[in-house]
Structure 1
Amino acid sequence: MNIGLIGAGGITHVHIPAWLALGARVTVFSLEGAAAVAAQYGIDAVDSLDELLERCDVVDICTPTPTHYRLAERALRAGKHVICEKPIALCAADADTLAELAAFVGKQLHPAHVVRYFAEYALAHKAVGAGTIGEPAILRFSRIGEFPAWASWFADEAQSGGIVLDQMIHDLDIARWIAGEVIEIYAVKHVASGCETAQVVLTHESGALSYVTGVWGAPGTTFATSFSIAGSKGVLNHDSKSDASLRFDLGAPLPGAHSQRPDTSLGESPYLTELREFAAAIEGGAAPRVSLGDASRAVELAVAANESIASGRSVSVIRHGVSA
């Protein structure tokens, strides 16, 4: 595969090694920093987007959120398959437009919602789907890190969508992936002293409730994630601060198992797993675990949460025809 990667920021430093591990040829273009990135990884840099599009089969968009829609549209119209970092757009209408364009030109567009590829979340999805903890009832997700002050656009909600659309969209997507479609959202947010925190409550069609917490904290805040999924038969917990694996609380060991903690081999980069799955799909393989419909719906949920924050009221997000 000939990959044309757009961007030279932090996320490129996980995408490029993954592509190289898959044997792809990578060319990079960015308004700033492309030469340094190319030198670091021994790849080519080009001076224009037109030149990048001439040299590649697949475009990988690793740029700030406000550029995603325009760059994805340009790449699709140039006849390229596209992989785009989350969120795929700043509103669901734009995400849907990109999906329609991809179908029209006959090219694939893959949204990089990488948390679905982290082993602990993938295992949780599998365990809940298998009925291990019964019907999910109360789910809690948290994601904590320092405020992304390294780029000014994060602080401009018109460009980033704030903490909900930029950071918490990961857990909004995971909550829906695990507990099913969402019908209502209520959210609150607090901003002070360069920090931002938010709480989003999702009501699922099943009646389950998901509580999603996001924190952009003070400089040096240790990045951490956690979740707790309580069901009719037990509870599934994960806390990156204490243990990278999953813990089941079922009252008794799993049938036939010697331990209540499953093997959670976290050795492979989830970015490599994700891009391998996308590459396989582009070459005619199975559809990836995250779809354009999932990406559009995640944006819709995040935008609705921001609307709830602004209005102080819950927001209905019933959307017929969208599968969980």
Structure 2
Amino acid sequence: MSPLHIGLLGAGAIARSHLDGWLELGATVSVHSRGDSAEKLAAEYAALGHDVTATTLDELLARCRAVDLCTPTATHKDLALTAIAAGKHVVCEKPLALTVADAREMVAAAEAAGVRLQPAHVVRYFPAYAAMRQTVHQRELGDLAVLRFTRSSARPRWAPWLGDPAQSGGVLMDFMLHDLDIARWTAGDVVRVHALTRGTERLADAPAGHGTDTPAEVVTATVVLTHASGALTHVSGLWGLPSQPFRTTFHIAGSDGVLRHDSAAAPGFRITAQDARAAQDGIPSTPMTESPYLSQLREFAAAWDDATVTPRVTAQDGVEAVRLACAAIESSRTGRAVELKEVTR
């Protein structure tokens, strides 16, 4: 593998998870972000003996081999196109973009430039989900019938843009995209999406609670996916109160068996909190095996030197995940199912 010099854009919680992975891979990292957050992050890691420097965007692009985007979703397209135009490979935190058109434009630009665009769909690298998908594809469960995924956490409050669906895509795009992606990865292409969301997604607009069972700040969503195979997937998401613990589950039923997982019953993760957050706020990681953030970055970097390496998540997977989330948002808005007749490749 060629020497790694990574340009990290962003200095928030997810950037730290990526930074730890790059450093473990022996990379030199230049970081750029708004304000003085890049300088603070670089100084913190430099004090620990790591080669991390804060720099301008132009200097970063001149030095690095690849750019890792850990910035707010609404900035992904413009920053990715800038990096691609500079001839850099791009790792992009999920989702690739807020619209399908923007995601496709990013993919087309990378293909034209001959560089890699790699969506950071890290849940594919979490051991329980990777093992589940392998079990399904080895046909140990027979023909898939019904898949159920749940994801719940305290409502994210540490960055204002997360509380604005216009910037984050809301619970369906920002939070549940993980499970929409895993469903398609496991059960194949989707032909119909139906979704329902309850609660005020724009945090600034949420009124005070009125003693109801579902306080105004709680947001719930359900998505039903019909796969081309005939299998059905139910995905449930919850942004809850500050005391809501992070938890994920899946229940995969096939003609020959059932596979279950509950992170609360068999913890395969911990919450890596940053700054002055509540105990359960932060980025999930796993203490039982290699960090999935490290696993995905190693796989991406290997692909830069070896054209035969195909990471388990591709640029097209990033587009399809955005397409499913956008269909869910549209269905929730209209109350009608959205048909996906054309499967993009």
**TM-score for the superposition, normalised by structure 2:** 0.86
The alpha carbon displacement at 1:282 in A equals: 0.9
- The 8 Å contact of residues 31 and 55 in structure 2, kept in 1 or not, is answered as no
- The 8 Å contact of residues 151 and 248 in structure 2, kept in 1 or not, is answered as yes
- The 8 Å contact of residues 42 and 54 in structure 2, kept in 1 or not, is answered as no
Given candidates 4, 25, 28, the residue that maps to 1:25 is 28
**1:174 to 1:20, Cα distance in 2 relative to 1, 3 A:** same
Q: Which residue of 1 aligns with 2:315?
A: 292
- The 8 Å contact of residues 164 and 306 in structure 1, kept in 2 or not, is answered as yes
Given candidates 117, 121, 132, the residue that maps to 1:109 is 117
Q: Which residue of 2 aligns with 1:41?
A: 45
Q: Secondary structure at the match of 2:323?
A: helix
Give the aligned residue type for 1:50: D
For the aligned residue pairs, the C-alpha RMSD in angstroms reads: 1.4
Distance in 2, matches of 1:114 and 1:280, equals: 16
- Runs (4 or more) in structure 1 with deviation over 4 Å come to none
Q: Return 313-322 or 208-217, whichever deviates more.
A: 313-322
Distance in 1, matches of 2:53 and 2:199, equals: 39
Q: Secondary structure at the match of 1:294?
A: helix
Q: Which residue of 2 aligns with 1:239?
A: 262
The alpha carbon displacement at 1:220 in A equals: 2.6
Distance in 2, matches of 1:44 and 1:116, equals: 28
- The 8 Å contact of residues 119 and 266 in structure 1, kept in 2 or not, is answered as no
Q: Which residue of 1 aligns with 2:324?
A: 301
Q: Which residue of 2 aligns with 1:74?
A: 82
Q: Which residue of 1 aligns with 2:239?
A: 216
Which residues of structure 2 form unaligned runs of 5+?
Answer: 201-215, 269-285
Q: Which residue of 2 aligns with 1:227?
A: 250
Distance in 1, matches of 2:52 and 2:146, equals: 49
The alpha carbon displacement at 1:10 in A equals: 0.5
1:170 to 2:173 alignment: no
1:147 to 2:151 alignment: no
Give deviations 1:142-201, integer Å, cap 9, x for gaps: 010011111111121111110000010000000011011100000000115222110000
Give the aligned residue type for 1:4: G
- The 8 Å contact of residues 110 and 291 in structure 1, kept in 2 or not, is answered as yes
The alpha carbon displacement at 1:244 in A equals: 3.8
Q: Secondary structure at the match of 1:110?
A: strand
1:57 to 2:65 alignment: yes
For these two proteins, the number of residue pairs brought into alignment is 304
1:316 to 2:324 alignment: no
Q: Secondary structure at the match of 1:11?
A: helix
The alpha carbon displacement at 1:51 in A equals: 1.1
Distance in 1, matches of 2:104 and 2:334, equals: 25
Q: Secondary structure at the match of 2:312?
A: coil
Identity between Structure 1 and Structure 2 (%): 50
**1:222 to 1:232, Cα distance in 2 relative to 1, 3 A:** same
Give the aligned residue type for 1:298: A
Q: Which residue of 1 aligns with 2:210?
A: none
Distance in 2, matches of 1:148 and 1:307, equals: 23
Give the aligned residue type for 1:121: Y
Q: Which residue of 1 aligns with 2:299?
A: 277
Q: Return 164-173 or 152-161, whichever deviates more.
A: 152-161
Distance in 1, matches of 2:16 and 2:52, equals: 15
Which residues of structure 1 form unaligned runs of 5+?
Answer: 246-263
Q: Secondary structure at the match of 1:243?
A: coil
Give the aligned residue type for 1:282: W
The alpha carbon displacement at 1:46 in A equals: 3.1
Give the aligned residue type for 1:273: S
Distance in 2, matches of 1:165 and 1:9, equals: 19
Distance in 2, matches of 1:220 and 1:73, equals: 39
Give deviations 1:59-98, integer Å, cap 9, x for gaps: 0001111111111000000111110100011111111111
Q: Secondary structure at the match of 1:302?
A: helix
- The 8 Å contact of residues 60 and 83 in structure 1, kept in 2 or not, is answered as yes
Give the aligned residue type for 1:283: D
Distance in 2, matches of 1:166 and 1:216, equals: 11
- The 8 Å contact of residues 195 and 217 in structure 1, kept in 2 or not, is answered as yes
Q: Secondary structure at the match of 1:116?
A: helix
Given candidates 190, 198, 222, the residue that maps to 1:182 is 190
- The 8 Å contact of residues 83 and 112 in structure 1, kept in 2 or not, is answered as yes
Q: Secondary structure at the match of 2:182?
A: helix
**TM-score for the superposition, normalised by structure 1:** 0.91
Distance in 2, matches of 1:86 and 1:265, equals: 22
Given candidates 11, 15, 32, the residue that maps to 1:12 is 15
The alpha carbon displacement at 1:123 in A equals: 0.4
Q: Which residue of 2 aligns with 1:259?
A: none
The alpha carbon displacement at 1:47 in A equals: 3.8
Distance in 1, matches of 2:344 and 2:172, equals: 24
Q: Which residue of 2 aligns with 1:90?
A: 98
Distance in 2, matches of 1:155 and 1:16, equals: 25
Give the aligned residue type for 2:43: A
Distance in 2, matches of 1:271 and 1:20, equals: 12
Distance in 2, matches of 1:317 and 1:76, equals: 30
1:194 to 2:230 alignment: no
